[in-house]
């Protein structure tokens, strides 16, 4: 057990068993705060609930979270928040890794994700992006990467409203960082997020860089994101600055059901592109893997005699002994 783990354990034992009351930061506190001032509580895996990830997507050791990045999805803090501060460290493990922290994710969007509709919630995303992402994006799409940065963008997702602090992205929606302070893969980065009164501010490695105000709604769930690449989080600490005025409940949605594929000629496992496989099952779910690594699992939404379509309009058509996938891949049965 490392020295930091011992510190986390000591603070956790002090704060567990009761909720910390809303705190008022002292005027002489450092900014960003250290996290041992009055009102802070250590967060562990017991504080987060899975929304739409796999059982093995997230693994916790005390206050240290290990995320595989697959599939894309989120875990959420156990209850909604209004005004709060968040401290955490993150480290990408793969070049071009993508992740994020969602502030004030809406209960409606969280409920839809839990029912199988979509992958990410509506709310304010605090971007967690590796420095190599822009290079990979430009190589893959042959487009300039001028609409995002890897240094702490803050932006609204879905119908949530936010007025971004300058500098602002070309689309007028993202707050770009005023300074570039992010470190690359296998280096720990420190985030301090302050979400108060419809305003979100972000400090990266001790420097305030981005944010926005006029945010509506300005309460909801705190989420950690899994999005395609392995990432670690540690030293997560939360300080509530106000109580929720009204009880916020998650609405109920019927789980999305798959169109069964029992008896379909495309049942089985199909291989393509030197290592990719798609396993088509009778229950209407298809699993995509690269080697032994799970990439995603999707449900069938429609079918015909030799064709089926997955959510996201992914068309699969069987012609002879070849499965034509999305109009661009050809797979053979294993």
Q: What is the pLDDT of residues 122-134, one digit of tens each?
A: 999 999 999 999 9
Cβ–Cβ under 8 Å, residues 102 and 221: yes
Is the pLDDT at 255 greater than 80, yes or no? no
Measured CA to CA in angstroms, residue 178 lies from 149, 151, 154, 202, 204 at distances of 11, 9, 12, 11, 11
The Cα 76–Cα 66 span in angstroms is: 15
Cβ–Cβ under 8 Å, residues 325 and 331: yes
252 belongs to a structural domain: no
> Whose structure tokens read 């500098």?
167
Query: What are the φ/ψ torsions at residue 216 (nearest 5 degrees)?
Result: -145, 125
The predicted pLDDT at position 248 comes to 76
Helix or strand (DSSP H, E) at 4: helix 3-15
The structure tokens listed for 4 are: 């930091």
Of the pLDDT bands very low, low, confident and very high (cuts 50, 70, 90), residue 245 is confident
39 belongs to a structural domain: yes
Domain of 320? 268-333
Q: Are residues 275 and 234 in the same domain?
A: no
Q: What is the pLDDT of residues 173-217, one digit of tens each?
A: 999 999 999 999 999 999 999 999 999 999 999 999 999 999 999
Of the pLDDT bands very low, low, confident and very high (cuts 50, 70, 90), residue 281 is very high
| DSSP structural state of residue 264 | -
Of the pLDDT bands very low, low, confident and very high (cuts 50, 70, 90), residue 15 is very low
Q: Are residues 218 and 98 in the same domain?
A: yes
**CATH number where 62 lies:** 2.60.120.560
Q: Are residues 179 and 32 in the same domain?
A: yes
Is the pLDDT at 5 greater than 80, yes or no? no
Q: Are residues 207 and 141 in the same domain?
A: yes
Q: Are residues 174 and 221 in the same domain?
A: yes
Quick one: average pLDDT of 288-295?
A: 85
**Nearest alpha carbon to residue 222 among 64, 55, 105:** 105
């Amino acid at each position: 057990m490392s020295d930091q783990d011992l510190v986390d354990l000591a603070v956790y034992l002090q704060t567990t068993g009761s909720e910390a009351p809303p705190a008022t930061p002292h005027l002489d506190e450092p900014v960003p705060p250290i996290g041992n001032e009055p009102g802070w509580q250590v967060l562990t895996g017991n504080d987060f609930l899975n929304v739409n990830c796999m059982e093995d997507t997230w693994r916790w050791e005390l206050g240290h979270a290990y995320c595989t990045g697959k599939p894309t999805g989120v875990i959420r803090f156990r209850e909604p928040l209004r005004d709060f501060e968040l401290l955490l460290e993150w480290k990408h493990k793969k070049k071009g890794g993508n992740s994020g922290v969602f502030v004030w994710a809406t209960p409606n969007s969280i409920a839809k994700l839990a029912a199988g509709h979509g992958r990410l919630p509506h709310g304010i995303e605090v971007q967690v992006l590796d420095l190599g992402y822009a290079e990979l994006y430009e190589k893959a799409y042959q487009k300039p990467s001028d609409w995002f940065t890897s240094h702490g963008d803050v932006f609204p997702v879905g119908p949530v409203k936010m007025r971004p602090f300058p500098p602002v992205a070309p689309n007028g929606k993202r707050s770009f960082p005023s300074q570039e302070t992010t470190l690359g893969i296998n280096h720990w980065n420190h985030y301090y997020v302050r979400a108060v009164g419809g305003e979100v501010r972000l400090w990266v490695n001790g420097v305030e860089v981005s944010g926005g105000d006029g945010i509506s709604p300005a309460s909801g769930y705190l989420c950690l994101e899994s999005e395609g690449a392995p990432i670690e989080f540690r030293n997560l600490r939360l300080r509530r600055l106000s109580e929720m005025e009204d009880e916020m409940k998650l609405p109920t949605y019927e789980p999305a059901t798959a169109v069964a594929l029992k008896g379909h000629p495309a049942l089985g496992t199909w291989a393509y592109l030197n290592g990719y496989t798609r396993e088509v099952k009778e229950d209407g779910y298809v699993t995509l893997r690269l080697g032994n690594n799970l990439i995603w699992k999707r449900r069938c939404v429609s079918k015909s005699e030799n064709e089926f379509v997955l959510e996201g309009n992914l068309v699969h058509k069987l012609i002879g002994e070849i499965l034509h996938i999305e109009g661009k891949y050809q797979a053979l049965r294993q």
